[in-house]
Copies of this chain bind each other. A is one copy, B any other.
Amino acid sequence: MTAGPVALDLESDVVELTRTICDIPSVSGSEAPLADAVESALRGYGHLDVLRDGDAVVARTSLGRASRVVIAGHLDTVPIASNLPVRVVGSGADAVLHGRGTVDMKGGVAVQLHLAATVPAPVHDVTWVFYDNEEVEAVRNGLGRLARERPELLAGDFAVLCEPSNAAVEGGCQGTLRVEVSVPGVAAHSARSWKGVNAIHGAAEVLQRLVAYEAAEVPVDGLVYREGLNAVGVRGGIAGNVIPDSCVVTVNYRFAPDKSLADAEAHVRSVFSGFALEVVDASPAARPGLDRPAAAAFVRAVGGEPKPKFGWTDVARFAEIGVPAVNFGPGDPELAHTDDEHCPASSITACERALRAWLTGRAG
């Protein structure tokens, strides 16, 4: 006899719910027990249509509202570092939850679950998405899988990704391009170096261009994105007595969402004109879309000053299917993946209140 899924009380205190789902381990690839518990709990609500796709769970209202919003979060975490079960320090409004997932991102998932259960008649139709494998290679990503295979499930006017953002709106995300700039040389014995051409010396020009580069600050939809062009790796050299015949500088360009991937690549090629360049990794940027009515209403409802998101997040997957998206969730993103990952209860409850105000139309 197999035990059924863990029973979750979605209407209980959202901080307590966070703690409960943190204590159901769900390292990427092992999300099934948590996905089972989420699916089972959501199926208890008649106002939601619940679907399961692998270890992703989608729950939708169908109230015939004029607009539909998507509110998404991932169920998986990076590996546990002896930091479960959750340890609670302090109590009440001052409590802080310590442990894997408290920041990235079961606080956000708890807020989603609590609101899915307790807001049966939101002012927008809502598609709640809980997905798998965000913390691993992109090809396994559950949101990417849904976007490829069941894009209709992600359709909407606006999306909120409940990734940690210190309960502030972080709009869009920058894109990232990684290229290898190669400098050729001619090998020779280093005792007769004039018979060769030193590729590492040739790379001085590549590094000089990086040093001289002035990164742009780009306004997009009212947010200012700060770009960056940086060497993240360099390798060259064959042996201690050989003039190197090759040097490769790996460069990472973080670019604002006014640029497509093609724009970004063309820009990097112009910076390194005259050098061989190969793109080794690329992820598009996402515009914040704060000019759209649903997004503007969201920002008004949750309050505060929206900020640009510099890191890459899954909001770009929404952008690719034409849905503007923002990050908004409890916890400090700088603590994600650390052994001392921890989140104040107040950040979780603040997000819950803000999203509730938006969904119920009782905003600001």
Q: Is A211 an interface residue (CB 8 A)?
A: yes
Whether the Cβ atoms of A230 and B243 lie closer than 8 Å is yes
Whether the Cβ atoms of A194 and B226 lie closer than 8 Å is yes
Q: Is A254 an interface residue (CB 8 A)?
A: yes
Whether the Cβ atoms of A235 and B234 lie closer than 8 Å is yes
Q: Is A200 an interface residue (CB 8 A)?
A: yes
Selected interface stretch from A98-106, A133-141, A184-192, A262-270: A184-192
**Are A233 and B236 CB-contacts (below 8 A) given A241-B176, A252-B190?**
yes
Q: Is A271 an interface residue (CB 8 A)?
A: no
- Point out the residues of chain B lying under 8 angstroms from A230, CB to CB: 190, 193, 198, 200-201, 243
- Point out the residues of chain B lying under 8 angstroms from A243, CB to CB: 230, 232
- Point out the residues of chain B lying under 8 angstroms from A247, CB to CB: 234
Whether the Cβ atoms of B233 and A200 lie closer than 8 Å is yes
Within 8 A of B (CB), among A223-277: 226, 228, 230-244, 247, 249-250, 252, 254
Whether the Cβ atoms of A193 and B234 lie closer than 8 Å is no
How far, in angstroms, from A312 to B331 measured CA to CA in the complex?
Answer: 61
Whether the Cβ atoms of B232 and A234 lie closer than 8 Å is no
Whether the Cβ atoms of A211 and B204 lie closer than 8 Å is yes
Q: Which of A176, A241, A243, A247 has the most CB of B within 10 A?
A: A241
> Across the two chains, which residue of chain B brings its CB closest to A239?
B232
Q: List 20 A-B contacts (CB under 8 A).
A: A174-B191, A178-B240, A190-B230, A190-B232, A191-B254, A191-B310, A191-B312, A200-B210, A200-B230, A201-B207, A201-B231, A203-B207, A204-B204, A204-B211, A207-B207, A231-B244, A232-B237, A232-B242, A240-B250, A240-B281
